[in-house]
Amino acid sequence: MQRNPGYRTIEDDLLTAMLHADLMTEEGCTCPQMFHFQRAARTDKGVSAARQVVSVKLPEDVPIPDMVVKINQHLCSQIRVMAIRRATKGFNCKSWCDSRTYSYMCPTFAFAPEVEKATEDYRITPEVLDGLRNILKLYEGTHNFHNFTARKKAQDASANRYIMDIDCGQPFERNGLEWLLVKIKGQSFMLHQIRKMVGLAMAISRGLVGPEVIARAWRESRLDVPIAPGLGLVLEEPHYNKYNKRYGSDGIHEPLTWEDEKQKIEEFREENIDSCIIETEIRDKSMLQWLSTLPLHHFSTSEVTLPVLLPYRSSLSAGREASHTSHPTDADTTMMTSVMVGYHNTEELISEVGKRPALWDPLNKKYKNKDKKAEAYLEVCHPIYLDYEEKTTQEKKQIGKELQTHWRSIRDAYIRNSRKLKDES
């Protein structure tokens, strides 16, 4: 839920639908601030929302039920306006939002102890489930989460975040897998914060590191914290307790709650969110693939180093990459954990590049297409660089150059170490 010039986003679709419904002008669609448009929470690419709130100035002469119908007529089935409420003058859904709840749904094998093989046949035991709940409770309270986001220093006051509640429900079966839903409520969250919190909880549950690592993560030193896959992260609800207490029963305004739309939301979620997460995980096996890299994390304090996890194994010929790829061998794993570079977003960069074979797989049809590779690099910039879409054209070009340079440095380091290992053997 954000604007990203050159790319289609949910926010763009919503504004365009209001334009086609004659509820907003062309100028307002281009510059929504003219209509005091604001979102309660910004969701990044791949993150779903079961409940989202936006505030915008709409015509007063159109009945609210009619506005809902008109907007939905111009939206795809995966985006729906559930209701419209008339709020106070100058209402801002972001500043009035006093907390937000997110959920993360994943297969239970993600929390399986390391002594048990993580497979789709795994079923979580009561002991492991209780241990996970104890781990999650360690996050509650106000802490310095600078290690759970990107480009945030420990001295930055905004790194302190208040987690009100975090817990997981009972496991449930769907499509031959056992699933678990982790819910977390906090005042606000930073980029990748929840995914890193879940990723570290998985590492602890699997026995790769002790629970004391969470306390170490609050300290000033940079810590190697794994980031769980984005699939499964859902914005559950923005909360307006203070607003509802002040205006919800004044006889003029309605409380900002979802009770009347509960049934519609559940049906929408099942059809468009939960089923998509489950089908995608079964098809792509992203969690199983990610778990295979989890033991390579060192979970230690380091200001500038992270293990490089390359998405391919390169065989060298005449100083160039060979025209084939394969999965890393044990020897490759040993080598890769020894390669270090001074960039704390290295793992995130490699993860994003790994999703786009056009950047690294010579057998890919797009590999030799400069335009397609340029598009792929542009796609990588968005999740790596905060507020990328708000940068100027010149700044975006510079960011793209820096990203490509850094990726080539990682690749070249891999090639040099491959040569070295080959010579030593």
Residue positions annotated with a catalytic role: 44
Q: Phi and psi for 356 in degrees, rounded to 5? A: -125, 85
Place of tokens 């739309």: 261
- Measured CA to CA, the distance from residue 167 to residue 71 in angstroms comes to 36
- Measured CA to CA, the distance from residue 287 to residue 48 in angstroms comes to 17
Angle at which helix 346-354 crosses helix 370-384, to 10 degrees, equals: 140
Which residue type is seen at 375?
E
- Measured CA to CA, the distance from residue 297 to residue 261 in angstroms comes to 44
- What are 308's two structure tokens? 């490089």
- The helix (H) or strand (E) run that includes residue 375 is helix 370-384
- What are 119's two structure tokens? 């497979």
Residue 233, classed as helix, strand or coil, is: strand
238 contact partners, CB below 8 Å, separation of at least 6: 40, 41, 51, 52, 53, 93, 97, 99, 100
